A = this chain, B = another copy of it.
Amino acid sequence: MVAMQTLILNSVDLQRIVSHVGIDDLMDETIRRLREAFVGFDPKSCITPQRTGFHYSSPPGLIEWMPLFQRGSKVLMKLVGYHPECPTRHGTPTIVSTISIYDTSTGHLTSILDGTFATAIRTGAASAIASEWLAHQDSRVLGLVGCGAQAITQLHALSRLFEFERVLVYDVDSNVATSMMARATSFENCLDVEVTSLQEIRTNADIICTATSVQINSGPVITLTGCKPHLHVNAVGSDFPGKTELERDFLLQSLVCPDFPAQAEVEGECQQLASPDQMGPSITDVAKSPGSYRQHKARTTVFDSTGWALEDWVAAELFVEKANELGFGQHTEIEYLPSDPRNPYDFLVPAKLPV
């Protein structure tokens, strides 16, 4: 029986990888690979069922899983916990996540790693790529509505593909908005962010990223009447039935491109649309022929980003590759492989007992 080792990438390994590769190179590589993944996406060979899970109310929270099957290769399973009372009750983050990768030739768990950092990186990368295809090519002003963790990677990723002159930020919590500058210093090309009003963002931005934790049925987080005629919005916060960030009227006038249409209809901005024909092409449709959608750069466009396992796959694979290249992570044999597959008690033979 051959040994089957699992790569365990702990949080220190992850830091070492980021530090060795460099956060800018890491983001560039994620963008490059994710763009390729969008272009090459084939729903026959890459199957991504909608996320499902357990939701509960006391204390409020959920644990969901997002599986992906790359035919003839791997299964990825991202587990995400969302527990909004955690920071105050337990001193732990609201969102905690792990990614497990399984080999479909053997069923073996090949790797396990953190999923929160991968999610932040890939969510930023996805918005940057969507903006490349849908936003005005001379976009100079970025608006960020919501200044939490996701805003950092939105800003970082978009800065890799656009040369912004101004970054306007707003958060319902003004302390969060003002602390944005101090948090956005780890990457290159970082402009001073300007804490401002929704009104300023609406009238000046070429691209807006909404990344809020808006409550269910409390949207929109920004009205967009009077925005630039070519405004592109990356709507990142909508990920639950009833949780939306944009006005329905703005969606109706815009080309709305979901990441994962079946999910966006239920959990994304697209849930505000009456029928699928009001939705635009998916991001992978755009990817396959960006030229066909170039004329839409002149009008308002929306990337409805609900979060997709394909994106997790790209980020997780990158981390695992880098870990293997750099020799980071631990390898251990989690699965018990009896020498005699017909005897589960094989290891009780005295000669085989560990000391």
Query: Which residues of A does B touch, CB under 8 Å?
Result: 1-2, 4, 8-12, 14-16, 18-19, 23, 47, 49, 52, 54, 56, 58-59, 61, 63, 65, 67, 69, 71-72, 75, 77, 79-83, 86-87, 89-98, 100, 102, 104-109, 112-117, 120-121, 147-149, 152-153, 156, 176, 179, 183, 186-187, 330, 332-338, 340-349, 352-354
Contacts and interface: CB of A to CB of B under 8 A. Distances in A.
Which applies to chain A's interface (DSSP): helix, strand, loop or mixed?
Answer: mixed
Contacts of A96: 4, 106-109, 335, 337
Nearest to A354: B12
Nearest to A54: B69
Given A186-B345, A332-B8, A15 B353 contact: yes
Count copies of this chain in the complex.
Answer: 2
A148 B342 contact: yes
A23 B333 CA distance: 21
Nearest to A180: B342
Nearest to A19: B353
Contacts of A153: 344
A333 B96 CA distance: 12
A336 to B, nearest CB: 4
Chain B CB within 10 Å — which of A334, A348, A352 has the most? A334
